[in-house]
A and B are shown apart, each in its own frame.
Chain A
Amino acid sequence: AQKITQTQPGMFVQEKEAVTLDCTYDTSDPSYGLFWYKQPSSGEMIFLIYQGSYDQQNATEGRYSLNFQKARKSANLVISASQLGDSAMYFCAMREGLGGGADGLTFGKGTHLIIQP
């Protein structure tokens, strides 16, 4: 079974509109971390935002916020006031366990976001 599911292969959004990128996850570990990365056409993976499973509040970083719904195992990324430069692939990822070991991240298959002028 997939641990990270991103159900939107591609999205077209008008510039300046808000965008919600969906992500659901599957784990039985009570301790985990959720991440979103942006990958522009250049290929580099850019860290956007992080949410720990025990964090009480939704994470925010500038125009990015993470809508964390623990009971639904959902961690949607919200981009406010989208810009042309937001066009990229977006990946949701998870680390199970917060023990500090080098376990790496499990990634979803990504959503290709295109912002239209």
Chain B
Amino acid sequence: SQTIHQWPATLVQPVGSPLSLECTVEGTSNPNLYWYRQAAGRGLQLLFYSVGIGQISSEVPQNLSASRPQDRQFILSSKKLLLSDSGFYLCAWGEPGEHEKLFFGSGTQLSVL
């Protein structure tokens, strides 16, 4: 069966520091991969998605970037964190196709102080 791993679970970082959040998927090949952010008390906002290695699409211009160095690995990064980057970050995968369903990781709570 397919599983998705996301780490770390929580992270506290100072303003201006770099960020790297990692997500890996097991048990599937060529998945679509996604990064979402959830602000406190709000729904999810799509940040990035990827249909293959090295292919990244950004939904929202911001201080973050994403990379997909391997088929089942998706990384969210920042060179210098802002206070506004605080939030709950969720990685998700989906099997490409007409009725793609998204399955999420357990999330990373990021606090920028």
A interface, CB within 8 angstroms of B: 4, 33, 35, 37, 42-47, 50, 52, 91, 93, 95, 98-110
Q: In the assembled complex, how far is the CB of residue B106 from the closest CB belonging to chain A, in whole angstroms?
A: 5
Interface of B (DSSP majority class): strand
In the complex, the 7 A-B pairs of residues with the closest C-beta atoms, listed nearest first: A45-B104, A107-B43, A102-B32, A104-B46, A43-B107, A107-B44, A98-B98
Chain A residue nearest to B55 in the complex (CB):
A102
Residues in A with CB closer than 8 Å to B49 are: 102-104
Judge whether A44 and B99 touch: CB under 8 Å: no
Interface flags for B96-113 (1: CB within 8 Å of A; 0: not) read 111111111111010000
Convert B40-64 into 0s and 1s, putting 1 for each residue whose CB lies closer than 8 angstroms to a CB of A: 0011111001110000010100000
- A102 and B57 within 8 A (CB): yes
26 contacts between A and B (CB under 8 A): A35-B102, A42-B106, A43-B88, A43-B109, A44-B104, A45-B44, A45-B104, A45-B107, A46-B104, A47-B101, A47-B102, A47-B103, A52-B99, A93-B44, A98-B99, A102-B32, A102-B49, A102-B50, A102-B94, A102-B96, A102-B100, A104-B46, A104-B59, A105-B44, A107-B45, A110-B42
Among candidates A42, A52, A91, A103, residue contacting B44 with C-beta atoms closer than 8 Å: A91
Which residue of chain B is the closest to A46 with respect to CB atoms?
A: B104
Chain A proximity of B87: nearest CB distance (Å): 11
Known: A45-B104, A50-B99, A98-B99. 20 other contacts (CB 8 A): A43-B88, A43-B90, A43-B106, A43-B109, A45-B90, A46-B104, A47-B102, A47-B103, A50-B101, A52-B99, A91-B44, A95-B100, A102-B49, A102-B57, A102-B100, A104-B34, A104-B46, A104-B59, A106-B46, A109-B42
Bound-state Cα–Cα, A105 to B42, Å? 15
Complex Cα distance, B97 from A50, in Å, reads: 14
CA distance A103 to B99 in the complex (A): 12
Cα distance A46–B107 in the bound complex, in angstroms: 12
Asked whether, in the complex, the Cβ of A101 is within 8 Å of the Cβ of B51, the reply is: yes
